[in-house]
Amino acid sequence: GAVVSQHPSRVICKSGTSVKIECRSLDFQATTMFWYRQFPKKSLMLMATSNEGSKATYEQGVEKDKFLINHASLTLSTLTVTSAHPEDSSFYICSVRGPYGYTFGSGTRLTVV
Amino acid sequence: GQQLNQSPQSMFIQEGEDVSMNCTSSSIFNTWLWYKQDPGEGPVLLIALYKAGELTSNGRLTAQFGITRKDSFLNISASIPSDVGIYFCAGQVRNTDKLIFGTGTRLQVFP
């Protein structure tokens, strides 16, 4: 599958600030990437589908103004958590569908204090 | 959001034992995937299933795509300590690229 790099792996930020998470497809030009959120001991929940050159498609219940997604190139999608609050603390994971299936990034642990 | 029901929720087994877990859905999926997730990491693909009835092996792992396309199981034979982790099934939503994940099975292996 595709090689996916996610950065940072961990971030701690103050309440009210914004945090950007990057997802890179290193060996595959991805027109579509996916962003998931995972709470402790829970499953992965799809937040949005990131579309290169156009607006992201958000799942029901996900605030698009809170979770800004930008997919400006075929190898990079970013998720920005705006005006973060403690309840936004979670594990965020991106995914790329490559020629041999879906590959996931190693995740970003966000802690908002 | 939509989820697949996975059972059991957790398993505590002894090294060398075989393990079986399954995943069911009220919806039909065209693709079933099984992933393993270690703490603090993203999921890693174990087995992919593309046809109803398909039985596929990957080393000590065997998975099957149910005939009704609404379920799948994963078997692990002769478990070893490094099998510890959370196992997720995932189904690809028809006519989309989206994956829906199961609720997960947490596996603990004792020596």
pLDDT in tens, A71-91: 989 999 999 999 999 999 999
Find the CB nearest A43 among B33, B41, B101: B101
**A28 vs B: CB within 8 A:** no
List pLDDT tens digits, range B13-72: 999 999 999 999 998 998 999 999 999 999 999 999 999 999 999 999 999 999 999 999
Predicted confidence at residue B16, as pLDDT, reads: 97
In this predicted model, which residue has the larger pLDDT, B1 or A79?
A79
Categorize the per-residue pLDDT at A37 as very low, low, confident or very high, splitting at 50, 70 and 90: very high
The yes-or-no verdict on residue A100 having pLDDT over 90 is no
Categorize the per-residue pLDDT at A2 as very low, low, confident or very high, splitting at 50, 70 and 90: confident
Predicted confidence at residue A1, as pLDDT, reads: 65
The yes-or-no verdict on residue B1 having pLDDT over 70 is no
Mean pLDDT along residues B101-110:
96
Name the residue with tokens 């499953």.
Answer: A43
B6: closest chain A residue by CA: A43
Name the residue with tokens 């959120």.
Answer: A37
Find the CB nearest A43 among B45, B98, B102: B102
The yes-or-no verdict on residue B2 having pLDDT over 80 is no
Predicted confidence at residue B85, as pLDDT, reads: 97
With an 8 Å Cβ cutoff, are B40 and A107 in contact? yes
**A53 vs B: CB within 8 A:** no
Name the average pLDDT for chain A: 94
Interface test with B, best of A36, A37, A44, A77 (most B CBs within 10 A): A44
Task: Find the largest Cα–Cα distance for chain B.
Answer: 44
Name the residue with tokens 């970003």.
Answer: A108
With an 8 Å Cβ cutoff, are B40 and A49 in contact? no
SS3 of B20-56: EEEEECCCCCCCEEEEEECCCCCCEEEEEECCCCCEE
Q: How far apart are the C-alpha atoms of A66 and A58, rounded to whole Å?
A: 11
Q: How far apart are the C-alpha atoms of A23 and B31, rounded to whole Å?
A: 25
- Mean pLDDT check: name the lowest of A29-33, A109-113, B32-36, B53-57: A29-33
Q: How far apart are the C-alpha atoms of A16 and A11, rounded to whole Å?
A: 14
